[in-house]
Structure 1
Amino acid sequence: MKSILIGLIISALLEIGTSQTCQKSNEMDETCGRYCYTIVKQLLDHTKSLEKQVNVQESELNKALLEKFENIEQQLRTLQEDLTEVKKKSLQRRESEFRRFYEKIGSKYFYIEKDKKMNWFSAVQRCRELDGHLINKNCFYLIDTKVYDYYWVILTELPAVPTSCYSKARTGQTQITTAIDDCNKLNWFICELNEN
């Protein structure tokens, strides 16, 4: 019986201690809760304010970037239009130069020099300046009715350093001759427009 009584007393004491501890714990939670809530609420409010600022700055930055991209796109469109216009004018200028120098005979364009005789090398250089090359001997028949003297020609492809220079001439109504000539001799020349 003594042991039961001791057990009951210990249980009662434990019960009283536990309820006091729980009550103190609840009181501390309420006190801490009120204190902590005030501090945490300020932190939450500050975080919300910062989030709004970040959103506003992000929105302004996106708007500024979008304006810059639109500006860049407009500049690119303008540059593209300008480039197209420059190309168009360049082609028109080139065509007018060709009309001034070149004559269309058949499906090709030729420049027949009528003012100044040149050696083979100068004739090649002048044709390059006019965006052409010396006429190929196989095309000479296209213009043979327009010429009556010796003209520089190339045989097939233009070598870097020629071993022989060739001239072609119409010496009569129907006779056309090809001859190996001195490259430094002065002859007329005919340029054929490059097809590019």
Structure 2
Amino acid sequence: MKIVLFSILIAVLAVQKCQANCQELRELESTCGRYCFKSLHPILEHTRILQSRISYLEAIEDSKTQEKLENIERLLHKTIDPIQALPFERIGSKYYYIEHDDEVNWFKAAHKCAELGGHLAHLQNEHDLEVLSGKLKHKYYWIDINDLANESEYISLTSGLKAPFLKWFSPGEPNDANSNEDCVQLREVDNIYTMNDISCYDKCHFICEKNKP
């Protein structure tokens, strides 16, 4: 760009010089005209070539930028598509995705369900628990209940309201062991799943729920 500006400056100075000479020597006007054209033509041609090269380089840069954006978009699709492909299965009257492989803490489980377009399982009654239990394979699964805000006040993360259904696995539960058990899991004992309070940072499998598959 500096070269282009410098070339244009030279061209302007040459024109001004020619005009001054022509004013002093009007009788040589035609000769000056030929001289000006002959002097400026290589400079103007060089300027045109430089401008063409700059336009070409700008076009290449725009093309590279567009290509980068398209690559980013493809990567995003590759990241999102596997998540969207995870199957939600109709169990009873609801749709669930049961994570049988990964074990994560309660917060990560809630985040994962949100990524899938749902939420941690929100059990509303004994029937929900019974039909879901038949699909479970492991001993522990996270659901959406917690008492993080107020001790012993068990809230559904899904609704923000008091949990509509609780079924603890033993009379001594929930016990808030070590004053650190604020999240609720489904726990299997003798092939029966009930609820247990546990540290939110323990790792369990989890169950996601959403309104539509």
- The two structures have a TM-score, normalised by structure 1, of 0.48
Relative to total residues, which structure has the larger helix share, 1 or 2?
Answer: 1
Bigger Rg, structure 1 or 2: 1
- The two structures have a TM-score, normalised by structure 2, of 0.45
Higher relative contact order, chain-length normalized (CA < 8 Å, sep 6+): 2
